[in-house]
Structure 1
């Protein structure tokens, strides 16, 4: 089960992602958890489920619990004025004196929003962040009368954090540790000033480690398993927060002056959504959700009473996921029976390859790009077909993939053939074959077929076509080997799925394909300022080519980059810029 959830996640992330992690807890036990990727792209150390992510605004739930503990103990009340607790808090706008503790938690305080300076930093060194915040607020005004309407506000939670610290007479990070994380055994859960070195913090790519002095609003770093431990507090009675306080947090406190606005009223105390319903997933009533988004991370915490479940997820931004829906899809996959048809595999059409991954009711369609497989569509199964959010459908007849778009169904692709290669064909893989018989007036090689290469993807052989690179998707023709010198396309999909058959063959140390003749890069001489000759000449650029030879009438120069894609063509009007390596074709 865990493998299927992770398999689906791996199909959805971008090919150059850093890391993401998820965990599901049911009935107080972790039932499914995993982490994929690396801690950072400097050392490329594989991630584990003990690694931590900055969950940013999910920290607001921890801060709210700290406040509610004070309420439970009778030390403060939700309607207490913040300025009475924090006399050092002042603003230019006298209305600030009406801001209550509760307004800080339901985003209705009217405060400006965010004290951005040092919101996110690259150091764990402590400095007087509270003084910076108080100075910023003292020079600010309110955007509305306190309590008028709710709009997302980090400043309120920074004040709530300061209230906790002031009333407890402790550093906020010590309050979290003593009153929450130590009690639930969440050893990975910390703030910037209490990082646990045994639980490494993930960094996006090669970017710096990200830390948060803004602890109450966004400073928690945690593993997803430990985040689930915290979430479990909202599903069962415990000694950390009372049932009364949990009910108050889960109440709709948000306010708005627009009759049709359903967004603002969903704010609870700390929670983004206290009446969370999604049309695609039946998770029942009472679902609570909180998101978190920093400069480098996106995270989600969801409490699902119907399944007595806690769901946690975090990613580095380069994963490219829609985190709220991804987490729900992953959990739904965990819950589903394994009774759906499986059409996973490589499919091919006249212009390239696609990877289909079907896991239970989900289908991920991936296009092959130069960076790897990238998700291009996400669909859900019902009644023998998979449908995306636009209403477009995919279904299968045997090995053939059909698509329905705008009520028109066409045959699109077919299952790719797998084939073992002998040593002759293996020696040809991933080598550039450069066109050597184009003409000075041939526009086709200005757009495509200026070079080709043989490629093998998961035992599927194809001919990649290089050209004027404007799209990241790789253009390639699936082929099968006939003998040591011949190969051919095997596609027979109706409509456009099998158009433009190619039959590459070798003769006299040249490759012949699609009406052109190609020379292997292994047989190409280096370029040393040679000039035009009577016949076309192809050279390899090994050193920076600063200047091109003079072109006369009815002549042409094509320069390809090292990948074989068109870099410069004298047929175009663009000015030539030096290139370090590649190929030059004198036509």
Structure 2
């Protein structure tokens, strides 16, 4: 299970004013004892012994094998918390009990808050979700006339056609800078759409930033104030905040990295509607009551049911019915498996920042929910763990007869490959890469998928147009969809040892047409092939520096020279997104736009500016030097030559500035903003970057050990 530990460590929101005071106070204190939900709860045994043991075992596994350093969970049934617990590591690495009041970043579960906020405005008669966004945010414009067709609903169900996400300077350490949100409309104004609005649903973070903007425009108050007045105050939530709120940051669960003894500075996800809410597990389940119709004073039953409808079925979608994905309004899935196997409707939302990960699973027809929050790990792990715990709880209380055993799989039996399937060989693309698909002796080889959760292996033809993986858990086939594209379809029962399994069905890649490029343009791109470009406008206190590959783009051409990193080359300096892939793998698309200044080549992509490796020089190997941050960027990158390798770098810098050091494999050696360190030993073949405000001067000395 080492691969899970590695991936977890690296990784990668005026009705109250209108309510009578007595009514608001009664609701804040909990469910009315005479309500149907309360009566149902009183009639339940709410036995939790087995569920508690399951939750403790899951927490232990996640902390020992999946890179988790803190976990907190809670089950709410009939308006009451019936199970609550977790664990955390102290600075010495020892496991401790965790307080129920400890707050976690909940990442994209925050999307449920902004969706609920928008639906509250629907209940107020101020918003119609089937009207264009421009009716409410007239400043919203794009370099694509189709933007006028984007409705509020399309933002909520991920079908707007937006490229996906602008992440620059969003997740910062102890810094609530709003520049990303402030520049959202400007960034979108120069961007095109990747599909017709409403054509299909694929995850798009920017849509929920736009929802946040809509809430502010329509309500006339800041988003954080809206959440406080319309959600937190009436529910008596004292641990539900945003980075813009004033509160005791020591209440946040510490974020930690392996090998670093002390906690990092607090993580601020400054994209509030997309992923910026902090909460506790118990309070998240309290908010779940709003989402499942148990708080009609806050959100009407009509709006609740609208959010729970299978919106994903309205457009192009993968054929499988059993899936962890199935968008509603805000929800990742409104028919989460394996609950359907028990005849239970379940909805879920997961969330990930850089360091925090979360899962909410709600059973809207029985008023039961579970929240599982972690520092470190992955929302996929949390959702799987939460589902396993909740099923144990339901079995323990007689809601289901028993928990069904995990499915088993046999080694596939190869069959002869029909000649007509040969037409599916060729070039395929997904976001960031292209891949050549070829059949050999009835088999095809595939790399690891879903962040290594599906291992690299061979797939053999097993009949009915399908190929099956060596372990029997994954089926691959080719779908010719109604939008004219051919996709590689993956359907897999993914095993997470010690936690359970999850069913995922998605389109992995899209078949690409030949793209003939002018010889001169082709030559220009061939010169870039294999070169890396480094982001120069990410603040030095960004948590993205923990995984610098996110801030590096290495140009990779397909053999024909018509595509680069999954984008279609249009001329010597430009390539446009080619991926039109529903579900998940078509998310966060980008164009590539090159320019030159002062003999240096720059790349613009995903809202960031990158500089060519050709402009990255060696760090001065002498005893002392100064590095000045230019007005054009936040950071400067340097290579570590053999003459500087092994020397100790010491840096003096003004407040807000700092440095980072990486080894030749891109793993962090030192992150001054994270640890407060001012020294680091330079690794041969590594890289160093210095960052700060424009004009900042950093004094650097190199000494032998």
Which TM-score applies when normalising by structure 1?
0.54
Does the 8 A contact of 2:359 with 2:383 survive in 1? Answer: yes
Residues 293 and 304 of structure 2 are in contact (CA less than 8 Å); yes or no, is this contact kept in structure 1? no
Within 5 Å, which residues of 2 pair with 1:210-359?
210-233=267-290, 234-254=292-312, 255-258=314-317, 260=319, 266-278=326-338, 284-305=343-364, 307-318=366-377, 322-337=381-396
Secondary structure class of the residue paired with 2:76: strand
Match of 2:141 in 1: 90
Residue 169 of structure 2 corresponds to: 118
Larger radius of gyration: 1
What is aligned with 1:571? none
Confirm or deny: 8 A CA contact 1:298 1:316 kept in the other structure. Answer: yes
2:444 paired residue number: none
Secondary structure class of the residue paired with 1:35: strand
Write the distance in 2 (CA, Å) between the matches of 1:331 and 1:130. 36
Q: 1:309 to 1:165 in 2, by over 3 A?
A: same
1:130 counterpart SS class = helix
State the shift of 1:217 in Å.
1.0
Measure, in 1, the Cα distance between the counterparts of 2:355 and 2:371: 17
**What residue in structure 1 maps to residue 87 of structure 2?**
36
CA distance in 1 between counterparts of 2:171 and 2:366 reads: 36
Equivalent position SS for 1:144: coil
SS at match of 2:111: helix
Q: Deviations over 1:218-250 (max 9, x none)?
A: 111100000010001214242000000001101
Q: Offset at 1:23?
A: 0.2
Unaligned 5+ residue runs, structure 1? Answer: 340-359, 364-389, 393-587
Deviation at 1:256, TM superposition (A): 3.1
Is the CA contact (8 Å cut-off) linking 2:103 and 2:252 kept in structure 1?
yes
Shift in CA distance, 149/282, structure 1 to aligned 2, threshold 3 Å = closer
* Structure 1 pair 44–117 and aligned structure 2 pair: CA distance change class (3 A): farther
Instruction: Give the secondary-structure state (helix, strand or coil) at the position aligned to 1:192.
Output: coil
Correspondent of 2:189 among 131, 138, 143: 138
Question: What pairs up with 1:433-512 in 2 under 5 angstroms?
Answer: none
More helix, by proportion: 2
Deviation at 1:314, TM superposition (A): 1.1
Distance 1:296 1:243, change over 3 A: same
The one-character-per-residue Cα deviations of 1:318-374 (angstroms, maximum 9, x if unpaired) are 5897222111112233344499xxxxxxxxxxxxxxxxxxxx9999xxxxxxxxxxx
> 1:158: Cα distance to partner?
0.4
Q: Could you tell me how far apart the structure 2 residues matched to 1:219 and 1:327 are?
A: 22
CA contact (8 A) 1:297 1:316 kept: yes
Q: 2:130 aligns with which of 67, 72, 79?
A: 79
Seen in structure 2, the aligned counterparts of structure 1 residues 166 and 329 have a Cα distance that, compared at 3 Å, is same
Output the aligned Cα RMSD: 3.2
Match in the other structure for 1:4: 53
* In structure 1, C-alpha distance between the alignment counterparts of 2:327 and 2:250, rounded to whole Å: 32
Is the Cα–Cα contact under 8 Å of residues 23 and 228 in structure 1 kept in the other structure?
yes
Structure 2 portions without partners, runs of 5+:
1-48, 257-262, 407-470, 474-705
- Aligned twin of 1:149: 200
TM-score, with length taken from structure 2? 0.46
- Give the C-alpha shift of residue 7 in structure 1: 3.1
CA contact (8 A) 2:240 2:283 kept: yes
Residues in 2 aligned to 1:189 and 1:259: alpha-carbon distance in whole angstroms: 36
8 A contact 2:88–2:97 mirrored in 1: yes
Contact 1:13–1:321 at 8 Å: present in 2 too? no
Paired residue for 2:645?
none
SS where residue 361 of structure 2 aligns? strand
CA distance in 2, matches of 1:121, 1:200: 18
Residue 251 to residue 76, structure 1, CA distance change in 2 (3 Å) = same
Query: How far did 1:391 drift?
Result: 10
Counterparts of 1:261 and 1:134, CA distance in 2: 36
Contact kept in structure 1, 2:359 and 2:379, CA below 8 Å: no
What aligned pairs does 1:184-203 form with structure 2 within 5 A after superposition?
184-194=235-245, 196-197=247-248, 200-203=251-254
Q: Cα–Cα, structure 1 residues 41 and 95, in superposed 2: closer, same or farther, change >3 Å?
A: farther
Could you tell me how far 1:48 is from its partner in structure 2?
1.2
What displacement does 1:80 show? Answer: 1.7
| Displacement of 1:32 | 0.3
C-alpha displacement of 1:186: 1.2
- CA displacement, residues 371-430 of structure 1 (integer Å, 9 cap, x when unaligned): xxxxxxxxxxxxxxxxxxx799xxxxxxxxxxxxxxxxxxxxxxxxxxxxxxxxxxxxxx
Count, aligned residues: 347
